[in-house]
Structure 1
């Protein structure tokens, strides 16, 4: 039976926090802080990395 229950490794670049909100320093007309979101470029905003592929040798 395949073992598909292992969790994917957490991204080492963002430590599992792939999206952050950054304030621009400006306020909206209603008085709230204006923010932008940024995604981790290493994991593309998922928080996980793909496990290393296992290479199998084929042939003799």
Structure 2
């Protein structure tokens, strides 16, 4: 079945993949690698951006 797409535009910086896991290279005592979870700074981890029409306009 087709998936329903969101009406909100996808973040252009992360292409909809807002949180990534980065390996640090060090190993933990059980042999697994230590990872860091990092969120996209542009969309703050949501994967979507606010359309330009919804932004508050100031000035003339």
TM-score bin (small chain): 0.7 to 0.9
Q: So what's the TM-score if we normalise by structure 1?
A: 0.76
CA RMSD of aligned residues (A): 1.6
Q: Give the aligned partner of residue 33 of structure 1.
A: 33
Structure 1: unaligned runs, 5 residues or longer: 1-5, 56-60
State how far apart, in whole Å, the 2-side matches of 1:53 and 1:9 are: 12
Q: So what's the TM-score if we normalise by structure 2?
A: 0.76
Q: How many residues align?
A: 50
How far does the alpha carbon of each residue in 1:5-42 deviate from its partner, in whole angstroms, 9 at most, with x for none? x6100000000000000000001111101000110000
Q: Residue 12 in 1 paired to residue 12 in 2?
A: yes
Structure 2: unaligned runs, 5 residues or longer: 1-5
